[in-house]
Chains A and B, each alone.
Chain A
C-alpha cells in the first residue's frame, strides 16, 4: 500500500516528477509535496469546493482525487491565475466587489468560475449561480461573488 509511485505532472506550466504514496490526495500533493498552498482543503469529502483545481481544463476537487491519478496530466491552480504581478480580470473583479472576506474558499471559487467563464462568456445571473452552486462560502452571502463573476465576464469580453 505504501509503495511509492512515480507521478509526472505539469502544474501551472512547470513539470514535476515526484514519487508519492498511492493514497496521497491531489490536494495534499499540491500543498505539501509541491508547496502550492493556495489550494485549500475545506472538507476532504468533495462538498465545499475549496480545493477546486483544473485538470486538463476541467474544474475538479483535488481532495477526492489521488495524486497518482493525474500522472501525465496538466493541473492549474490559483497560483497560476495572475500574470506575474498583474491580476487576472476575475481576481480584479473579486477584489473590487469585495467578493471575499476570510479568503479561504476564494481559490476554489476562482478556479470554478474561470472554467465556467471560458465555456460561457456571456452568462446571466442564474447561470452564474448554477455554476457556483457546488462551492460554499460562509462569509459573504454570495451576492458579491455572483456580482464579481458577472463583472469578470464583461471585463473578459472587453479584453480587459
Chain B
C-alpha cells in the first residue's frame, strides 16, 4: 500500500489556539453553515407527503406473558391507518439476532429479540404493538387505546441476582442467565502470589447512555413496483443497518437504501439496530406507504441503547518497590434482556478485559468476563464501551500500591508505565501497544497543570480557615491506552460476526477537475467532511475547497463498517489515502498515454501544493522531491511511516526546493485539471488496461491496530457537608499520532471528557429492584451542563503508529476513557478515603457517606 505525501506540520499544535478571523478559523468548516442558520436536515426534517407516523405500545412490565392484545378500539380511533401486533408481524419479520463465533474458552448464547413481542416481554418498554396514524398526536392517542392483557412473571433485577442459583431465567436456553463468558490468563502466577503488596478494589460503572441531543428515528418508504425500500435513519452505520434490515425483513440488501441525514450526535447508541427500525421498515412494506418514527426523549431514555452497567472486582499484587506483579479481575456486565445487533453482548466483558492492564507492565493477568441477562433494556455501545473500566479500576489499584509502598502517586506510575523503548509491547489484555511515550504524557499533563501548584492549593484547602471542615481539594490522574480503528483480525478474534471491520472510499475527479470523495464512515458532528477534504486535498494536491465529501448513503457511498470505536480517521481515512494512491496511478497512466510513454516514465509530483504528473524520461528534467510513492514501491526515504516522512518530503517540494520547474508547459508536466479533461475525452487513445474516466475504489483493512495513549489530571473540589463535587481544572496530554484536524481532535477530547465527568458524578439509568425503569426524564438522568465542565487544557504529542501507512491513531473515545478514573481518583484523594468498593456515579449522597467514613486506613491494603 502506498500513500500520499501529506504534511502533518501544517496544522497548529497548540490546543487552545483558535484564530478569530471570520471564515479563516481552524475550527470553521462549510458544513457548519446550514447548521448555524437553521437549514440543517435532521431526521425529523424529512417530511414525505402522506407519511404515517408511528407510536409504539410498550410493556409496563419487566417480565410478563402476553395473554391478549385487543387493538379494536385503537383501530377505530381518528386518523389511524393500522395497528400491528407482534403476532401479526411474527410470520414476516425475523427476530434481531447477533451471532458470534466464540473461540477459545469463550461461550456465547445468542438471543431472539422480536421487534414486536408476541408472547413474552422481558423489559419495561418492550414493544407489543405499533400504531400508524396520520400524525404523531393521533398515533399516541390511539396507542393508549390498545388493550394488552399481561400475566406478570418473576423479575431478575440485577446481574448479581441473575447468576444466583435458582434465579428466574430470562431465556429458556440460558439456565444460568449467562449469555457470554470468557476467561484469559497470561504469565505465571508465582510472582503474583508471593508479592508482598496486595490491594483490592471493586467498582461499579453505572448504566449510562450516549444521550445524543437528537434522539433516534427513521423514515421508511417502500416502492412496490420496484421492490425497493428507501430508509432514512439517524444512524452511525448505514451499511450495517442495511444488512440488519435485510436479515430481519428477508429482502436483499441491494434493494434497501439506507441514508443518514444530518445526525444530531451518535456516541454509540445509534450503531445498534433498533426494533423500531425493523418495525418501521416492515410497516412501510406492508402498508405501501411512507412511515415515520421519531423517538421522543422519554422513549430514548427507556429504550435507546444503554451501556456499561459493569462491576469489576479486582486484585493487584506488587513488589515492595511498587512494581506490579500481577492483576486478577472479574467483570460482571448486566447486558439487559437481549444481545443487541451488531456487536452482541460480549462487547463490555471483552473490552473491559482488554483495557484493565492499561499502559503498565503487568507480568501476570487473569481475567474472567461475564455478560448476564436481566429484565432491563439491552445494552449496546457508548463511546469507550468497556474500556473506561480499565483506568477506573487499575488507576485506583496503582494509587493503592503506591501508598502501600510509600510512593507518591506519580512515582508509582513512573515505575510501572511502559517506556518507549519497550514498545511495541504485547499487553496481557491482547492488544499490541505500538508507539508513544507514556511517562512523557503523564509528565506533560502534570507540567501543564502545574502539579506543584495544585498540590499547594490542595494543602491550603485542607488547612484553610473557615471552610476547613467542608471544602477539600483532590488531585486525580489517569493513564491509559486505546486500541483504535480495529481491523478485521481484531473482530475475527472477538468473534463478532456482523462487523465487516473494513472501510472503503471512492474518489472521482470530474472532467472539470473537481474531486468527489465517497467514504463509508459518516459524521455525526465529528467534522469528517473537513478531515477527509484535507486528506484528499493534501494527498492529491488539489484545493481543499474543490473536494466534495459525500458520506452516509448506501446508494452512493461504498461498503464499510461506519463510524464507531474511534475508527473513522484510521479506517475511513486509510481508505481515502489508499484511494488517493490509486488515483495517482490513474493520473500517471493518463499522462503516460498522452505522452505515449510507459507509465514508469512518469511521476506524480505535488509542487506548491498542486498535484500533477511529470515525465521522467530523458526528455524531461528530473529533480528532487519526487513522490516516488505514486508509481513505484515503498519510499526509500527511511523507516518512518508515510504521513510523517512523506509529509516532510512533500513540504520540501512545496517550498520550491525541488529542482524541476513547471516550464515547457504541456510537454513536461500535466496538471490534474488537464488530466481530468484528457481522461474524459474520446480524443485521447488509451492503451489496453487503462480505464477511461477518473474513478477509483479502495477497500481498506488497517494492517495493524494503532493504539493512542493519554494521561489526564484533574483537580476536583468536594464539599464534605453537601457532598457536592466540582471539577475545577482538567488537563489532557494525548498522542493520537499525526493530527489531521486539530480543532476536530480538541473538540472530540473536550466533549468526551465532559461525558466522562458525567459518568463519574452525574449519569445513571436507574431501575428499581423490581425492574421498573426510573430515569424517564432529563431531570432524572443528568447530562453535564455548562457549570459541570471546566475548561480543558490539552497537550498534544504526535508519535505516528508504525502499524499503518498514515500513522494516524483514532481518538474519538479517548476523553471518556480517562475522565471517570481521573475524577473518581480526585474525589477519593480529596476525602482521603480508600473504600473497598465504589458505586458510581458519585452523587452527593454517596460522597457524604464516603466523607463520613473519614480518613480510614485502607481496609484492603
Instruction: A138 to B755: give the CA distance in the assembly, Å.
Output: 8
Question: A37, B777: Cβ atoms under 8 Å?
Answer: no
B211: CB under 8 A from chain A? yes
B833: CB under 8 A from chain A? no
Within 8 A of A (CB), among B1-51: 18-29, 32-33, 35-42, 44-45, 47
Within 8 A of B (CB), among A62-120: 77-79, 81-82, 87, 91-92, 94-98, 100-107, 110
B150-180 to A contact mask, C-beta < 8 Å, 1/0: 0000000000000000000000000000000
Given contacts A96-B18, A101-B747, contact A78 B787 (CB under 8 A): no
Given contacts A31-B44, A110-B36, contact A140 B747 (CB under 8 A): yes
Question: B38, A133: Cβ atoms under 8 Å?
Answer: no
A141: CB under 8 A from chain B? yes
* Closest chain A residue, CB of each to CB of B776: A45
Within 8 A of A (CB), among B260-288: 262-267
Complex contacts, B39 vs chain A, CB 8 Å: 38, 79
Question: B778, A103: Cβ atoms under 8 Å?
Answer: no
Given contacts A47-B778, A142-B786, contact A102 B525 (CB under 8 A): yes
Complex contacts, A10 vs chain B, CB 8 Å: none
Given contacts A47-B779, A136-B778, A138-B265, contact A106 B747 (CB under 8 A): no
Question: B27, A138: Cβ atoms under 8 Å?
Answer: no
A23, A81, A139, A145 pick with most chain B CB within 10 angstroms: A139
* Closest chain B residue, CB of each to CB of A160: B22
Given contacts A102-B525, A103-B262, A138-B212, contact A47 B777 (CB under 8 A): yes
* Closest chain A residue, CB of each to CB of B138: A2
Instruction: A43 to B785: give the CA distance in the assembly, Å.
Output: 15
* Closest chain A residue, CB of each to CB of B37: A82
Question: A101, B751: Cβ atoms under 8 Å?
Answer: yes
Within 8 A of B (CB), among A130-160: 130, 132-147, 151
Interface size on A (CB < 8 Å)?
A: 60
Instruction: A134 to B527: give the CA distance in the assembly, Å.
Output: 26
Complex contacts, B755 vs chain A, CB 8 Å: 138
Complex contacts, B525 vs chain A, CB 8 Å: 100-103, 139
A21, A43, A97 pick with most chain B CB within 10 angstroms: A43
Question: A104, B264: Cβ atoms under 8 Å?
Answer: yes
Question: B264, A98: Cβ atoms under 8 Å?
Answer: no
Question: B747, A91: Cβ atoms under 8 Å?
Answer: no
Within 8 A of A (CB), among B286-329: 296-298
Question: B526, A97: Cβ atoms under 8 Å?
Answer: no
Contact of A94 among B21, B36, B744, B786 (CB under 8 A): B36
* Closest chain A residue, CB of each to CB of B42: A104
Given contacts A104-B264, A138-B783, contact A97 B18 (CB under 8 A): yes
Contact of A143 among B26, B296, B789 (CB under 8 A): B789
Instruction: A2 to B186: give the CA distance in the assembly, Å.
Output: 68
Range, interface on chain B: 35 or more
CB distance from A36 to the nearest CB of B (A): 7
Instruction: A79 to B40: give the CA distance in the assembly, Å.
Output: 11
CB distance from B15 to the nearest CB of A (A): 10
B25, B38, B137 pick with most chain A CB within 10 angstroms: B38
B571: CB under 8 A from chain A? no
* Closest chain B residue, CB of each to CB of A79: B38
Complex contacts, A40 vs chain B, CB 8 Å: 42, 213-214, 264
Complex contacts, B783 vs chain A, CB 8 Å: 48, 136, 138
B343: CB under 8 A from chain A? no
Contact of A104 among B265, B752, B778, B787 (CB under 8 A): B265
B791: CB under 8 A from chain A? yes
B752, B753, B754 pick with most chain A CB within 10 angstroms: B754
A36-52 to B contact mask, C-beta < 8 Å, 1/0: 11111111110110100
Instruction: A134 to B550: give the CA distance in the assembly, Å.
Output: 35
Complex contacts, B262 vs chain A, CB 8 Å: 102-104
B743: CB under 8 A from chain A? yes
B82: CB under 8 A from chain A? no
Complex contacts, B264 vs chain A, CB 8 Å: 40, 102-105
CB distance from B435 to the nearest CB of A (A): 27
Question: A45, B778: Cβ atoms under 8 Å?
Answer: yes
Complex contacts, B746 vs chain A, CB 8 Å: 98
Instruction: A134 to B788: give the CA distance in the assembly, Å.
Output: 12
Complex contacts, A142 vs chain B, CB 8 Å: 754, 785-786, 789
Contact of A78 among B38, B42, B750 (CB under 8 A): B38
Within 8 A of B (CB), among A8-41: 21, 23-24, 31-32, 36-41
Contact of A145 among B297, B753, B786 (CB under 8 A): B786
* Closest chain A residue, CB of each to CB of B78: A2
Question: B37, A78: Cβ atoms under 8 Å?
Answer: yes
CB distance from B759 to the nearest CB of A (A): 13
Instruction: A135 to B37: give the CA distance in the assembly, Å.
Output: 18
Contact of B213 among A32, A104, A132, A146 (CB under 8 A): A104
Question: B213, A98: Cβ atoms under 8 Å?
Answer: no
* Closest chain B residue, CB of each to CB of A91: B36
Question: B214, A102: Cβ atoms under 8 Å?
Answer: yes
Question: A151, B20: Cβ atoms under 8 Å?
Answer: yes
CB distance from A59 to the nearest CB of B (A): 15
Instruction: A24 to B137: give the CA distance in the assembly, Å.
Output: 9
* Closest chain A residue, CB of each to CB of B524: A102
CB distance from B704 to the nearest CB of A (A): 29
B792: CB under 8 A from chain A? yes
Question: B42, A100: Cβ atoms under 8 Å?
Answer: no
* Closest chain A residue, CB of each to CB of B754: A141
CB distance from B290 to the nearest CB of A (A): 15
Complex contacts, A32 vs chain B, CB 8 Å: 47
Contact of A96 among B19, B137, B296 (CB under 8 A): B19
Question: A95, B213: Cβ atoms under 8 Å?
Answer: no
8 extra A-B contacts, CB within 8 A, seeds A38-B37, A103-B35, A104-B42: A42-B215, A43-B297, A45-B779, A91-B36, A103-B525, A104-B40, A104-B212, A142-B754
3 tightest A-B CB contacts, nearest first: A38-B38, A98-B27, A103-B35
Residues of A bordering B, CB below 8 Å: 2, 21, 23-24, 31-32, 36-45, 47-48, 50, 77-79, 81-82, 87, 91-92, 94-98, 100-107, 110, 129-130, 132-147, 151
11 contacts between A and B (CB under 8 A): A32-B47, A37-B38, A43-B297, A45-B298, A79-B38, A92-B22, A95-B22, A96-B21, A100-B32, A104-B42, A104-B212
